[in-house]
């Protein structure tokens, strides 16, 4: 039994299902024998079927292109091999690691990916971890809380940001943010942001994705200016493990364009396992460049080591913690960051904790 499971475990750890292409003909054979009774021959189950009624749960609709595209094949390898419970899904989905070989799991997952036309959707394999400051390229359905404590001479500031992201169409996403700050003297909402992000290009073979976005920031203080914030975000996976993400934002006040700045950020995470409920280390570098040179260190550099924790079995709830330190002459000493993410498209916040 152990000798049979070793190649399957290696397949899951390596992520993309091995180096050879899936045998779709064999995958279809396995699907019809093992999966079709619950998921339906075309990927959509019949709710009136006696089998489905006996299950008591509605199996996932594999023919839905949004669902099919947003789930990476590596997650499906885990579900097929170890069952739904292993990823916080229904325990009625049995594991097949004792019945199917590594090649057969790769083949059936490859066939499942053909049950929907996902050609216009960014593939879930390019949905990389959310960094703390670097913008993501992949469009999401997420609710994110960001907390930031800034240590400054004579005035420490606590900032909370609540961000709602919602997928639109095949490759778009709208985002709304509310920002609340407490500097010890005043506690108030300081800014609201509304924006739209679009995946511009992706290449699954090269494991890369590029997106563009436009955000408008509206301050609550009438003496401050609204801001236009366009940005580009890029992500790429190297060797199946190294996630490199970069973003470039131009933050420009409407009434004082010269007071704006360019923010460049880049993050690197090392994914040492495909299991989502694990701790993953990361590192970010950030450079802020004002449009006008006001003397001193014009480029404001900072470094941000961090640790991401998958809190649920499927990783749809995750926590990222980091400490940011300035590398140039800046008006703050350090910042402590906490980011709590809930991918609500994958289910309830309380799903998959045990």
CATH code of the domain in which 147 resides: 2.40.160.40
Cα separation, 181 vs 149, whole angstroms: 10
Q: C-alpha dihedral over 42, 46, 49, 52, to 10 degrees?
A: 90
Q: What is the pTM of this model?
A: 0.89
Last residue of a domain, one of 89, 112, 135: 112
Same domain, yes or no, for 63 and 107? yes
**Would the pLDDT of 17 be above 60?**
no
In a domain? residue 119: no
Which tokens go with 331? 């008006």
Same domain, yes or no, for 157 and 198? yes
Same domain, yes or no, for 139 and 250? yes
> What percent of the chain lies above the pLDDT cut of 90?
78
Q: What is the mean pLDDT of residues 233-248?
A: 97
Cα separation, 282 vs 290, whole angstroms: 27
Same domain, yes or no, for 107 and 137? no
Q: What is the pLDDT of residues 273-282, one digit of tens each?
A: 999 999 999 9
Same domain, yes or no, for 104 and 234? no
Same domain, yes or no, for 161 and 291? yes
Last residue of a domain, one of 80, 112, 144: 112
Mean pLDDT of all residues in the chain? Answer: 91
Q: What is the pLDDT of residue 131?
A: 97
Total number of domains in the chain: 2
Cβ neighbours of residue 191 under 8 Å, at least 6 residues apart?
177, 179, 217, 218, 219, 220
Same domain, yes or no, for 136 and 53? no
Q: How many residues does the chain have?
A: 354
Q: What is the mean pLDDT of residues 85-110?
A: 92
Cα separation, 323 vs 259, whole angstroms: 27
Torsion sign, CA atoms 192, 305, 206, 275 = negative
Distance linking the first and last C-alpha atoms of the chain: 26
Give the residue numbers spanning the domain of 8: 2-112
Q: What is the pLDDT of residue 167?
A: 97
Nearest CA to 129 out of 239, 10, 249, 237 is that of: 237
Q: What is the mean pLDDT of residues 242-257?
A: 96
**Would the pLDDT of 22 be above 50?**
yes
Q: How confident is the model at residue 8 (pLDDT cuts 50, 70, 90)?
A: very low
């Amino acid at each position: 039994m152990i000798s049979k499971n070793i190649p399957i475990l290696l397949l899951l750890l390596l992520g993309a299902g091995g180096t050879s292409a899936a045998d779709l003909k064999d995958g279809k054979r396995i699907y019809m024998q093992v999966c079709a009774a619950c998921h339906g021959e075309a990927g959509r189950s019949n709710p009136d079927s006696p089998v489905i009624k006996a299950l008591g749960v509605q199996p996932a609709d594999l023919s839905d292109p949004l669902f099919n595209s947003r789930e990476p094949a590596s997650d499906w390898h885990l579900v097929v091999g170890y069952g739904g419970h292993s990823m916080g899904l229904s325990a009625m989905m049995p594991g097949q690691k004792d019945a199917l070989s590594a090649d057969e799991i790769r083949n059936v997952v490859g066939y499942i990916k053909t049950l929907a036309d996902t050609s216009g959707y960014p593939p879930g394999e390019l949905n990389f971890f959310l960094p703390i400051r670097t913008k993501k390229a992949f469009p999401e359905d997420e609710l994110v809380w960001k907390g930031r404590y800034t240590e400054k001479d004579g005035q420490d500031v606590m900032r909370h940001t609540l961000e709602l992201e919602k997928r639109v169409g095949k490759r778009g996403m709208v985002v709304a943010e509310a920002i609340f700050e407490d500097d010890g003297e005043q506690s108030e909402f300081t800014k609201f942001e509304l924006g739209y992000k679009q995946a511009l290009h992706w290449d699954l073979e090269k494991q890369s994705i590029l997106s563009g976005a436009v955000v408008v920031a509206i301050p609550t203080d009438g003496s401050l200016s609204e801001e236009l914030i366009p940005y580009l975000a890029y992500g790429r996976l190297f060797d199946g493990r190294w996630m490199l993400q970069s973003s470039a934002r131009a933050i420009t006040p409407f009434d004082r364009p010269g007071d704006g700045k360019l923010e460049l950020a880049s993050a690197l995470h090392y994914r040492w396992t495909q299991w989502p409920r694990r701790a993953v280390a990361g590192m970010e570098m950030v450079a802020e460049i004002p449009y006008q040179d006001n003397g001193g260190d014009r480029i404001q550099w900072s470094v941000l080591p961090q640790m991401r924790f998958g809190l649920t079995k499927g990783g749809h709830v995750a926590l990222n913690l980091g400490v940011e330190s300035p590398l140039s002459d800046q008006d703050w000493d350090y910042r402590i960051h906490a980011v709590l993410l809930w991918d609500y498209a994958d289910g309830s916040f309380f799903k998959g904790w045990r």
